[in-house]
């Protein structure tokens, strides 16, 4: 039952007078705001080429420095390829990935791609080309304007960082942080 409800109550028997008391209840329902921020799930690693290529979690949580928990991609061979894949999902009341922030550092080269449900196997964002990894932590920022499409269906999406590494090169990728609305 929605809307205000009124119920007339009487004073308990045996009290002086029978005074009617009015009790009113009002139920309020409001939609919560659809904005949220969160770290994406993962990483899952996929070795593309090279038997000496590896993906793992870096056990060295750098609390005193950059405060990141890194996905670590390494190679002992030339031109090794490994991907780190992170997954996310929009909530029921959300329609937009409004921003993605992806921390990277290390050596080698990388490319970032974003895939969304409803776009098939086509990515909705690709960084322009292979980019040399920065030696120090660098935050790569994307906005909804960078994405050619937004998730549909169950609203799932994936951020993939493709590493191309030569022997002894190491790429670290932090868990992407997303704002959704």
Q: Are strands 53-57 and 131-132 parallel, antiparallel or unpaired?
A: unpaired
33-87: pLDDT as tens digits: 588 999 999 899 999 987 889 898 876 665 656 677 889 999 999 999 999 999 9
CA dist 25 and 45 (Å) reads 55
Model confidence pTM above 0.85: no
User: What phi-psi label fits residue 34: left (phi over 0), alpha (psi between -120 and 50 degrees) or beta?
Assistant: alpha
Superfamily of domain 36-180: Galactose-binding domain-like (2.60.120.260)
99-158: pLDDT as tens digits: 999 999 999 999 999 999 988 888 999 997 899 999 999 999 999 999 999 998 889 999
Contact yes or no for 109/81 (Cβ under 8 A): no
Domain ranges of the chain: 36-180
């Amino acid at each position: 039952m929605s809307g205000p409800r009124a119920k007339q109550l009487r004073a308990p028997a045996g009290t002086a007078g029978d005074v009617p008391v009015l009790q009113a209840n009002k139920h309020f329902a409001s939609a919560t705001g659809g904005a949220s921020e969160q770290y994406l799930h993962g990483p899952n690693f996929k070795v593309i080429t090279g038997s000496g290529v590896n993906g793992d979690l870096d056990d060295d949580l750098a609390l005193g420095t950059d405060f990141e928990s890194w996905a670590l991609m390494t190679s002992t061979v030339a031109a090794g390829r490994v991907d780190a894949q992170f997954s996310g999902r929009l909530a029921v009341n959300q329609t937009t990935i409004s921003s993605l922030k992806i921390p990277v550092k290390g050596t080698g080269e990388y490319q970032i791609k974003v895939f969304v449900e409803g776009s098939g196997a086509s990515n909705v964002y690709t960084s322009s080309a292979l980019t040399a990894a920065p030696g120090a932590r660098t935050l790569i920022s994307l906005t909804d304007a960078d994405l050619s499409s937004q998730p549909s269906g169950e609203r799932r999406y994936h951020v993939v960082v493709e590493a191309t590494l030569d022997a002894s090169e190491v790429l670290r990728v932090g868990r992407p942080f997303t704002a959704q609305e």
